[in-house]
Structure 1
């Protein structure tokens, strides 16, 4: 039975996390400045000789009306509430929708009033205004994400559920620190000690309301294993209403892309529907055409780098320039993966001794200071130039520009059901885990990111990974 202490109301003053209450005011200030600048710039621009003589004299009167009505529509689309700055918000969609409706109302209003509004002024005002509003919101959200990653503008969260489920949810909140969720503690069925993941206990789920109120949390997250029925959860929501605590229910599934999740309320029951995995779409003709075109352009642009790399390898020890290794590709089919040689000749014969000396999990054996790496090889690896010959693998259809990295037979033989899903797509020259830390990531993190990529594939995600790859390569972090 979930209960609440009689004096719980006096235990905590109900205020939002420090700083979050200021965000709507900051957003409103930015929008006012942007729209003021847009209206002034449009008015001045329309009066330039480039647009010809001004035939009507109503712009000074209508300019503030347009700006104010635009702001009213933004307010009506709930763009100045604290919820707007939550993770996964559709803030930009609503901003654009409100702006287009504002423009439409201005056009209709001028038509009905038989007022000839300058087309140049209209295009300048809404062009400058919309771009400025979007850039202002992006700047504010970028600042907010960076601040949350440093521990500012945080929301306090208490997680109720089984110990393992609490750890899963807490791990996501810690990993994605930009969302701004600080885990205060957990409520478990036993309420004894901390969870195995180190989340401290705040008590038993039976005392949920009392513990939440006294902890001063902003969000109560109900995870799997909580054992709270729909009726009891509704009672909890009613009891927490005076304290301004939000209720979040975390489903037992994780690593599902937002565009695969849909909410469908049926008879008051909020069903979370998840679309099937999208790995089959990665074999589409569009992705293959994209690979061929972009790879050809990269080969042409990087041909001088390829020539310099080959010259340095040959000049260093006179050994072979290329290294060919049998890897496993789409559907478990083997192929010869090409790389510039970065290790001494006979490096494979030294691997077993190094694994015995330094240890290996059997999947991702990499040494930060591998004695087998040559001097030019270290440079090639740092900037991933050693991988460039795989562009020919992409042209042949063995690989794609983006996908999980291809692995050898021995590694594939150790796959469990989850890892075997990597074979549903073509292996790639770069992938999600490469742009998320490269060799600095643990095997578990690399595994999770590869499976996420396979299940949630999209061409947009590929483009994002390629963009982030350029940044990761030039930074040289995590490559060895």
Structure 2
């Protein structure tokens, strides 16, 4: 069973990469909605300002004569609507209370800007009040009419989002009624939980891509391997909507969303599926190339010290298990005697990792004098920049483990093999060798995979520098 887990047939990409770069499904419809609302709001603000000047008490001022103040009025209003979430889908654009608050805030900000920019100029109170009241009236009316027209078009089958339902058979009828009640979705198909099983998963996602599904409504209880499945939807550019369940559960990337009056969770798809991962790979390639050139004098110095300290090669290459269980040779500066792997069998009884999956020994007699120094400052890991350059590793990711360790994995542990291994990771900056239980390390790896982002990688890299200089947990 283990040998099958370690073998790889063909090439599979990193869990986060997606199958080719794909634009978020349904993006065009969403963009058209937002652009239409922005145009309506801008026209409403312009009309309100013009009428307020015409009917208000006339005062010659830059406020009423310069076009720049009119443009400022529109820009401030649109910006506040945007930051207030009034261009989001669903009930957000119909939240008239929030609209009135946003319009009022924009008017106050305009007064403040006008005072700071041109304190000697004035605007009549009647013009200001008329502009405020007319803006509220026009924008709310425009939003109401927009909804009326949109609902009419949707009743005729236009501007709808194509969706697919995956839910248990006994709940399908109820869930279909809940989705169709919203009058903004076209249900292209329904499947039960078996469609997400391992044997059916690839066919299901290929079928969803073929249908052009924008969103998938999934019952949380249908997803057995939630971390894996959620990343598949995410990298396919499909927004996943988690249907209501009696049990309160969530995913780290999920946000609250209303399905009518029912609160649900959703995991929104990125605008460009897989783009973040390819930014990560480009960063890895550029950084490893630059660091290899910058550290070349250090590489030479360490090589000389290793040769002077003990017999044997400068570099140590070992089989490690990488992406999807594929073996590769990891590069390190040699820190042990040349027959270290043969001697390990006699030291297994002294293993300090409680569950025995990994092998760690604080005062390992196999380590050379220069090896102790290199390990203390993690300098022995520097040659792994070659592995990063060759695409076998990343700067940040779960550490690749020896064959001996992976052969002791349980089924749940293999999720960490679905992403590219790294030189450093959340495990390393959270204690490095001080973690005594393999399960604790796996939890950190899963936390990394669940919450991964480019910003998270950068934070781990900066934390790694601090951990190395403090020599925390290194031996």
Q: TM-score when scaled to structure 1?
A: 0.47
Larger Rg: 2
Q: TM-score when scaled to structure 2?
A: 0.47
